[in-house]
Structure 1
Amino acid sequence: MTDVAAIDDRLLQLNQRLKAAQMGFQIERRGQKLSLRGLLPPRPGSLRLKPSQQRLSLGLPATPAGLKQAEQAVKVLAAQLIQNTFDWRNYDSGMGWGRLDQMGLSQQIQAFAQDFLAEASRVQQPASAKTTWEKAYAPYYRKLEAIAQANPQLSLVEAIYATVRATEDNSRSRQVCCTALSALATFLHIELPTDLKIFWGSYGASQTQARTLPSDELIAATWEQIPNVGWQFVYAVMATYGLRNHEVFFCDYSALLQGKPEAVIRVLNTTKTGTHDVWPFYPDWVEHFNLRSLQLPTIQTDLTQTTLQRIGQRVTSQFRRYELPFSPYNLRHAWAVRTIHFGLPDTVAARMMGHSVAVHTRTYHQWLTHRDQQQAVETALNRSQFAAPGVGSREWGAGRREWQTVKG
């Protein structure tokens, strides 16, 4: 009897035992590997709503030892289904089907990447997820792999803590590292004895260096220094609508181009934070900057060929090329502070900027300078009439201070 025939004979006997025990699964030999077939819940992303007959690769060799392991795997799987603890992520390797706890660290990270990006596709923000993975997660997973490889005596949990300690105390990198490694541990069903948030330290927006934002007059004058009309348009849209670098290239400008007086633009769902509408502040800048004439420069925006981050970097590099006196994000930050002067509610401004109210107030209110506060006070007083107790009626101001265009 050949080796293959002997294995098939043993496999037949094994399946007879599984059937007698009413396990609900059969083992199959597919080439030199073993898999099982039985009634399983829908896989992640499946359109099925009920369990169905499915095949699951065990990643085990078609050998006598592999058959013994396969029989034990069926018993474990059957118990998980009875206890309602079965989770497809324990078997998703991203390279076929196999157990997460039987993979090396590199394969586990690869499995997590597939799950992370697939989940993002289901919520319709794949571009943002790709940028998050590449910039926020992947660098710390590479660091984790390097530490684990250099210190094979460490368990994965110990390597995770070592990776966290390798980052600077009370830093943004420490915080992002903790977030990335916590996400990986959750995916792998690893229980960390100490929550990684304990290691975040005192880093926060209050520790960031205050920015000196350009005045509105400087913003208007700088626009005229840009020699290329396409990049003039990018600059002006960011200044007028407070957009992120990459968002300029992913907007619906139809209301603007149709001449509608409110001049609202819609940031599309392919961006970092999804669809949201934005109004101009100042409205006068729409005409001053000639924004009703769409003049976007030609760059690569196909997100199968590039990323939102690379598009944003292209904008930053153009600002440097033209030697502009401030960064692109200063235009966004100046827009945020400007809405405070206009008295726009934080909830509305935060929605237009595509982030939470907590982020909005924590980030932008700390940048209000004495000049900004004085302007806000004057605006508030000019809007109202006050009668101080015992003094009589007094009217403040003649209306809102108007911004004057400065030509360079």
Structure 2
Amino acid sequence: MRTKVLQELEKVNQRLKSAKTKVTIRESNGSLQLRATLPLKPGDKDTNGTGRKQYNISLNIPANLDGLKTAEEESYELGKLIARKTFEWNEKYLGNEANPKELKTIGELLKNFEEEYFKNHKRTTKSEHTFFYYYSRTKRFTNSQDLANSENLINSIQKIDKEWARYNATRAISAFCITFKIEIDLSKYSKMPENNSRKIPTDVEISAGIIKFADYLNNRGNQVNPDVKDSWQLWRWTYGMLAVFGLRPRELFINPDIDWWLSEENADMTWKVHKDCKTGERQALPLQKQWIEEFDLKNPKYLEMLATAISKKDKNKHAEITALTQRVSWWFRKIGLDFKPYDLRHAWAIRAHILGIPIKAAADNLGHSVQVHTQTYQRWFSLDMRKLAINQALSKRNEIELIKEENAKLRMENEMLKLENEMLKLELVYKRS
């Protein structure tokens, strides 16, 4: 049905264009809007100095075939007002903004964001994660004192310089607007940036990175709060676990099975990811088992520190777990690492590929689909990583060729021995005769 509506919408807009009606119709979130360049709405700023601006007008027309007929009629009516220069912003065209006193600030709406959001979304660990993503970015990139209208929200997005930050803010503000039924057109900012850079550490760099935690201890000042003077050890342990298992940081803090990790029954040295985590429960296998010992990851002292850290938090509160994961990132920056916690997860995926581990096994171990594994993680293959993979493949091929050559020599030697043996037998028979 939506395809039919969009096809018919294109035909309607073509008719409006042929009639030289300076109005078009667009579909947004299941409704139809009229788009036209109009005199400034009351209260709007004349940023272009023209006294006019393009607006999307919602008349609460549903995006269906009957709605298209109504929208086309309204477009012709609006077009006549524009042509006669008699258009005025009245209650019909202002809609919810007809009474400015009803508009609330962004800060006021943020207070009710969680309650309103979960009226239409089932509350799960994953949906809480998604909501906090929307909430935190909307709060970070907007001014809580601004009125919650499309102009102020778009201005907030336009002030963001970095492409990925702008893209993430747009996603969050879009969810915010949908929740509170704020009419807004974010299509200009919703395209995912094409390029993004990551620093994927090599195994050598990962091993060197863990030493930086000890360097921090040696270089820090003497005035350290006694209650937190050893806390760096917990974050060093976290670093090692992320490197060994390719975990998401929060998978270390959401109901960790510490007893299992330290148990003698855990012969495969797996980490149990709890069912409340993003992709459910699983047992993650280590890729570099020697790091478990080298990084001292089974030291009970560090696990006691982990238990203490999570006991201070309300484990049902997504924001509190997020605070712990943000602390991990803070420590990465503090000790001078030039990569981020999630880059260790990417490094695990790349290392698994280089080692020839089947994609399905690697994807299952990381707790995501094969599609995510191939599309998201393998795109970060750096030149150095590709050289390593190719050199290892060539080395493996050379080893195979060498084995084949040795086998051929052994077969030849075996045939020669058989021939000598037959000659000796014939010589012995000849002597007897």
> TM-score normalised to the size of structure 2?
0.52
**Are the structure 2 counterparts of residues 370 and 395 from structure 1 closer, same or farther at C-alpha, using a change threshold of 3 Å?**
farther
> Does the aligned pair in 1 maintain the 2:157–2:169 contact within 8 Å?
yes
Q: What's the CA shift string for 1:252-280, capped at 9, x where partnerless?
A: 34543223332221222444554443211
Partner of 1:375: 388
Counterpart residue number, 2:246: 242
The answer on 1:252 being equivalent to 2:257 is yes
Higher helix share: 2
Is residue 2:174 matched to residue 1:219?
no
1:288-307 alignment, distance < 5 Å: 288-294=294-300, 295-296=302-303, 297=305, 298-299=308-309, 300-303=312-315, 304=317, 307=320
Task: Give SS of 2:197's match.
Answer: coil
Q: Distance in 2 between matches of 1:157 and 1:225?
A: 47
Unaligned runs of 5+ in 1: 1-99, 150-155, 397-408
Q: Which deviations, in whole Å up to 9, do the C-alpha atoms of 1:157-189 show, x marking residues without a partner?
A: 455544444444x71232223222322333344
Deviation at 1:338, TM superposition (A): 1.1
Residues in 2 aligned to 1:190 and 1:130: alpha-carbon distance in whole angstroms:
18
Instruction: Give matches, 1:294-333, under 5 Å.
Output: 294=300, 295-296=302-303, 297=305, 298-299=308-309, 300-303=312-315, 304=317, 307-323=320-336, 326-333=339-346
Match of 2:187 in 1: 197
Structure 1 residue 208 corresponds to structure 2 residue 191: no
- Partners of 1:132 and 1:202 in 2: CA distance: 17
Q: Distance in 1 between matches of 2:330 and 2:109?
A: 36
Number of the residue aligned with 1:128: 129
Question: Post-superposition shift, 1:197?
Answer: 3.4
Describe how 1:105-184 pairs up with structure 2 within 5 A: 105-106=104-105, 108-117=109-118, 122-125=123-126, 128-129=129-130, 131-140=132-141, 142-143=142-143, 146-148=145-147, 156-168=149-161, 171-184=163-176
Contact 2:198 2:339 in 1 (8 A): no
Q: For residues 339 and 117 of structure 1, do their structure 2 counterparts lie closer, same or farther at Cα, with a shift above 3 Å needed?
A: farther
Give the match's secondary structure for 1:148. coil
Q: CA deviation at 1:314?
A: 2.1
Gaps of 5+ in 2: 1-95, 215-229, 408-433
User: CA contact under 8 A between 1:241 and 1:279: conserved in structure 2?
Assistant: yes
Give the Cα separation in 2 of the matches to 1:241 and 1:127.
Answer: 24
Matched pairs, number: 279
SS in 1 for 2:351: helix
* CA distance in structure 2 between the partners assigned to 1:283 and 1:240 by the alignment: 7
Amino acid at match of 1:334: A
Q: 1:201 to 1:321 in 2, by over 3 A?
A: closer
The percent of aligned pairs where both chains have the same amino acid is 25
Q: 1:240 Cα deviation (Å)?
A: 0.3
1:24 alignment partner in structure 2: none
Query: Cα RMSD between the aligned structures?
Result: 4.0
After the TM superposition, which parts of structure 1 deviate over 6 Å for at least 4 consecutive aligned residues? 118-121, 384-388, 393-396
* Cα offset, 1:307, TM superposition: 2.0
Shift of 1:354: 4.3
How far, CA to CA, are the matches of 2:336 and 2:170 in structure 1? 37
1:211-264 Cα shifts (integer Å, max 9, x gaps): 2x3331332244355445434322211110122334322333454322333222
Whether 1:343 and 2:356 are equivalent positions in the alignment is yes
SS of equivalent to 1:122: coil
**Deviations, residues 132-156 of structure 1 (Å, cap 9, x unaligned):** 144223334x44x65537xxxxxx3
User: For residues 364 and 226 of structure 1, do their structure 2 counterparts lie closer, same or farther at Cα, with a shift above 3 Å needed?
Assistant: same
Change in CA separation of 1:327 and 1:382 when aligned onto 2, cut-off 3 Å: same
What corresponds to 1:281 in structure 2? 287
Q: How many Å separate the matches in 1 of 2:242 and 2:333?
A: 16
Per the TM alignment, residue 109 of structure 1 is displaced from its structure 2 partner at its CA by 4.7
C-alpha distance 220-283 of structure 1, shift in aligned 2 (>3 A): same
- Over 3 Å counting, the alpha-carbon distance change for 1:233 and 1:177 in structure 2 is closer
Q: Residue type of the partner of 1:177?
A: A
Give the Cα–Cα distance (whole angstroms) in 1 for the partners of residues 169 and 209 of structure 2: 38
Structure 1 residues 199-221: Cα deviation after superposition (integer angstroms, max 9, x where no partner): 334614xx11242x333133224
In the superposition, the TM-score normalised over structure 1's length comes to 0.55
Q: Residue type matched to 1:215 in 2?
A: T
Go from structure 1 to structure 2 and tell me whether the alpha carbon gap of 1:243 and 1:395 turns closer, same or farther (over 3 Å shift). Answer: farther
